């Protein structure tokens, strides 16, 4: 069987996506913990990507499936890698600058940004459902961050800005991956992203490299391993189920982030987060529902 083809298995997809959400939240916790111990953002990105190359490339080599990495679209992979590296800087930056729960919640605005980008990039006409989702999503951001009533401890304007650019980049990259998925194997997309960004991140190492104690190196190694596992779980979940179906599992990351925030960083999520997060999550679900309705109508109309 071609590695890019799999029989739909919705329950398996939901379970794998649930694991992926937990892995991503755990990676965020390890990024933040390593950052508090002096690890630089670019160091973390370098090791995260290098370990993905080693694990994924090695795994495919051991199973005799290196042919899955063949590509005729290296320029497209390079464009995705450039945007992805930029996105990782902001995603990791949000985790370092904001409390975990707030950074995670802002990440849920990616579907809202995807809707806005569809207007600009694809010239899509957005109806009242998706415009309502955009308004609801950003209303949720205002409720969570309370910008007019004084920011909570640990929340800064710089952190909010970085935390909103991160999901914007996720949304932008989703269009690139959607295009690559028309011709490329999922493992190829993951591998070339890591392989092309590792040397780029390495260029920064002479300027940010620092000595670390064994515990910090352990955190960096764990972060890389968990991040690689999360990437593979995300890819696998999309092989067995559609993004619209498994989206709900992504929101469980907030529970993990809140747990880690309290037990690892001794910070309970504020009440405003539990009021605003449902608005942001609801906006994402409304967009997913509407996209599914539109897809069904196109099938029924024979488009």
Average pLDDT of the residues of the chain: 85
Please give the share of the chain, as a percent, with pLDDT higher than 70.
90
Q: What integer is the mean pLDDT of 86-111? A: 92
Q: Are 235 and 187 in contact (CB under 8 A)?
A: yes
Residue 3 within a domain: no
Q: Determine the pLDDT at residue 151.
A: 66
**Structural domains of the chain, count:** 1
pLDDT in tens, 39-84: 999 999 999 999 999 988 998 899 988 888 988 889 999 999 999 9
Question: What is each CA distance from 2 to 55, 62, 187, 243, in whole angstroms?
Answer: 21, 17, 11, 21
Residue 107 within a domain: yes
Query: What residues have CB less than 8 Å from 246, skipping those under 6 apart?
Result: 13, 14, 17, 237, 238
Q: Could you tell me the pLDDT band of residue 242, with boundaries at 50, 70 and 90?
A: low
The residue among 105, 236, 233 whose CA lies nearest residue 167 is: 105
Q: Determine the pLDDT at residue 192.
A: 94
Distance of alpha carbon 45 from alpha carbon 223, whole angstroms: 10
Q: Determine the pLDDT at residue 184.
A: 84
Residue 68 within a domain: yes
Residue 2 within a domain: no
Q: Determine the pLDDT at residue 23.
A: 94
Domain that holds residue 268: 12-300
pLDDT greater than 50 at residue 1: no
Q: Determine the pLDDT at residue 6.
A: 47
Residue 6 within a domain: no
Q: Could you tell me the pLDDT band of residue 169, with boundaries at 50, 70 and 90?
A: very high
Residue 229 within a domain: yes
Question: What is each CA distance from 109 to 80, 197, 209, 282, in whole angstroms?
Answer: 20, 25, 33, 10
Residue 4 within a domain: no
Vertex 9: Cα angle to 24 and 22 (nearest 5): 15
pLDDT greater than 70 at residue 217: yes
Q: Which helix (H) or strand (E) holds 181?
A: none
């Amino acid at each position: 069987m071609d590695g890019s083809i799999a029989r739909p298995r919705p329950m398996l997809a939901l379970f794998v996506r649930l694991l992926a959400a937990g892995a991503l939240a755990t990676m965020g916790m390890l990024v933040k913990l390593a950052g508090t111990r002096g690890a630089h953002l670019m160091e973390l990105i370098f090791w995260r990507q290098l370990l993905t190359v080693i694990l994924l490339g090695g795994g495919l080599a051991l199973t005799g499936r290196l042919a899955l990495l063949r590509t005729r679209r290296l320029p497209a992979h390079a464009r995705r890698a450039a945007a992805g590296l930029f996105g990782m800087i902001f995603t990791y930056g949000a985790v370092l600058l904001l409390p975990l729960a707030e950074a995670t919640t802002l990440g849920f605005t990616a579907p809202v940004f995807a809707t806005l980008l569809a207007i600009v990039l694809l010239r899509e006409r957005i109806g009242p459902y998706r415009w309502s989702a955009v308004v609801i999503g950003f209303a949720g951001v205002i409720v969570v961050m309370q910008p007019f009533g004084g920011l909570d401890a640990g929340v800064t304007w710089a952190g909010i800005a970085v935390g909103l650019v991160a999901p914007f980049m996720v949304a932008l990259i989703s269009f690139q991956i959607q295009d690559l998925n028309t011709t490329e194997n999922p493992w190829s997309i993951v591998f070339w992203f890591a392989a092309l960004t590792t040397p780029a991140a390495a260029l920064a190492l002479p300027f940010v490299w620092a000595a670390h104690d064994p515990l910090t190196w352990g955190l960096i190694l764990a972060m890389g391993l968990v991040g690689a596992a999360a990437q593979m779980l995300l890819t696998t979940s999309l092989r067995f189920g559609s993004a619209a179906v498994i989206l709900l599992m992504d929101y469980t990351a907030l529970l993990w982030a809140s747990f880690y925030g309290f037990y690892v960083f001794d910070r309970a999520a504020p009440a405003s987060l539990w009021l605003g997060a449902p608005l942001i999550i609801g906006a994402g679900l409304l967009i997913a529902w509407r996209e599914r309705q539109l897809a069904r109508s196109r099938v029924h109309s024979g488009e």
